Amino acid sequence: MRLPIPFGRKGLIAAAAIAAGVVFWRVRAQRQEALDREWEEEVQGAIKEGVAAGRAATARGDTAPDPGA
């Protein structure tokens, strides 16, 4: 017994291709969002490290390197 396919075999293949494209697009978007979040966290960490290093350098009184050293 054959089941009737409304748009035929080509329509079924086209629908499957469209569904696969949508899934691929959504997975790609999720991965890109995760990479963006990771990048932002890295930048924020680097900023915090830089601020801490600047405060540590000024707290010791090191304003300029010794030219004779």
pLDDT tens by residue, 10-53: 888 898 999 999 999 999 999 999 999 999 999 999 999 999 99
pLDDT score, position 66 = 60
Question: What are the structural domain ranges in the chain?
Answer: 28-54
pLDDT score, position 12 = 85
Q: Which has more confidence, 26 or 65?
A: 26
Torsion angle in degrees (nearest 10) through CA of 24, 27, 28, 29: 120
Lowest mean pLDDT among 3-12, 31-40, 57-66: 57-66
Q: Please state the pTM of the whole predicted model.
A: 0.56
Q: Are 32 and 39 in contact (CB under 8 A)?
A: no
